[in-house]
Structure 1
């Protein structure tokens, strides 16, 4: 006859299979939830309390992993910037490399438009991936003859266009509707109608035109072509 504690008479309760009672927190999971909140509802939606709620934990548990909202923004910056393709640098000529990088940059932020006003002014000191991206661009510009004092202004000029173009992807289709002012704006109204007749995506076409002109102009101004 088995004694207590032997098979069939264990006093221990069997461990239940399934999900743990407490949500598992790590940097990746926290950052993905934070990015989702900002992308859907904007910067103001990102509070530690709201983030903790979306993760299914208490704010105190969240603070065990991240110190502040500022740190969260740095984590988000790292996550998003990792998606920007810099592989063309060192492989393609400078013109094509800048075009490919800027296009990837714009497309990434077109998916996260509410982030633009935040990331555009966020210091990069604690974002190694962002710094690495800038290093690729800076090295390419310098290697092809741009003066060091001109590298940052050139990058900022490109970024300003990139961010603005990313925001433009969220513009309503009828943004240039002149139905109430057609008589006063015959040229503009006809231009809008002509563009719509092409069936071409205005945002994408405008970005491509502007980017090519900007890159060509910047390179030509320094005799780098």
Structure 2
């Protein structure tokens, strides 16, 4: 259960908004990890009655939808525009992963939450599809590319929050090749000053982009 005794700024009811509710919920999710949040938690932290929340959101799904808008805005701010489809896709993937890696407890819910009719997420998808189609991909292929890359991103975001020694074989002697590979990866990450999960993400994203470039280049005409 998320603690409601911590000290969080308590705004006046007059400044309560959908965005403030979502930002507070995001903080509760970050602090409570997988415990989630309740509407009563939000009300107590914000110093309002639960009924006041429903003047701005219809329920938890609406709060999560607004959280997705917050993360989408951060992705848009960090993903630099590029005239090259593969560079744009790469930068979008990096910004997307960074946004969700910072809030891994949101992945499970947002990955299956339908995109609302007025969501800015659709605008981001529209820009990507437009660029991919202009580069030579069909509309259907463009959607498949986005979904495939997005699936990889979300998995990588979760991996970034997992314990770094999750795969450690320990002192086992019956898996020598795996143990050596694990140690080599750990040493490489330490040498480069990055997390092992970041190495995996970079390799995987590069592989996806190389494969996509090869497919597009192999087409006649």
TM-score band (shorter)?
A: 0.7 to 0.9
1:132 to 123, 126, 130: 123
For residue 57 of structure 1, give the secondary structure of its aligned residue in structure 2. Answer: coil
**Matches of 1:129 and 1:21 in 2, distance apart?**
28
Partner of 2:152: 161
* Residues 111-160 of structure 1, C-alpha deviations (whole Å, 9 max, x = no match): 01011111111111245221111111111110101111212111110001
2:205 to 205, 211, 222: 211
How many pairs does the alignment contain?
205
More helix by share: 2
Establish whether residue 58 from structure 1 lines up as the match of residue 52 from structure 2.
Answer: no
Establish whether residue 108 from structure 1 lines up as the match of residue 99 from structure 2.
Answer: yes
**Matches of 2:17 and 2:182 in 1, distance apart?**
50
Deviation at 1:70, TM superposition (A): 1.6
Deviation at 1:53, TM superposition (A): 1.0
Relative to structure 2, which stretch is displaced further, 158-167 or 39-48? 39-48
Residues 78, 127 of structure 1: 8 Å contact kept: no
For residue 15 of structure 2, give the secondary structure of its aligned residue in structure 1. Answer: coil
Distance 1:110 1:195, change over 3 A: same
Deviation at 1:84, TM superposition (A): 0.3
Alignment of 1:1-225 (within 5 A): 22=13, 24-42=15-33, 45-85=36-76, 87-89=79-81, 91-181=82-172, 183-198=173-188, 199=190, 200=192, 201-223=195-217
Distance 1:129 1:43, change over 3 A: farther
**Matches of 2:24 and 2:93 in 1, distance apart?**
26
Return the structure number with greater relative CO, CA threshold 8 A, min gap 6. Answer: 1
Larger Rg belongs to: 1
Give the structure-1-normalised TM-score.
0.83
Partner of 1:7: none
Distance 1:21 1:48, change over 3 A: closer
Q: CA RMSD, aligned part only?
A: 2.2
For residue 159 of structure 1, give the secondary structure of its aligned residue in structure 2. Answer: helix
**Matches of 2:97 and 2:118 in 1, distance apart?**
19
